[in-house]
Amino acid sequence: MSITVNNRKIEYVKNETVNELLKRMKYNFPLIIVKINKNLVKKKDYSNTIIPDNSEVAVIHMISGG
């Protein structure tokens, strides 16, 4: 069992939320967008959105510039 995060296969963890995955992957950027199977997950839902097995997760770090 596995999931794909940013084109990298990693171990699937049963009942893992988006917040837990971000901590496990050490993604602690202030501006992040997360998609699961191409569906956008709202930031307010990170703590209660469970990532299903075999999911394709995209974590996009937004960068501001000037």
CA angle centred on 58, ends 40 and 28, rounded to 5°: 95
- CA-based torsion, 42, 52, 24, 48: positive or negative: positive
> Is the pLDDT confidence value at 66 over 80?
no
3 state SS of 9: strand
Instruction: Please name each of the domains of the chain with its CATH number.
Output: 2-61 (3.10.20.30)
Contact 3, 10 (CB under 8 A): yes
pTM value?
A: 0.90
**3-state secondary structure at position 21:** helix
In whole angstroms, how large is the CA radius of gyration of the chain?
Answer: 12
Interval 1-36: pLDDT, tens: 999 999 999 999 999 999 999 999 999 888 999 999
pLDDT of residue 34: 98
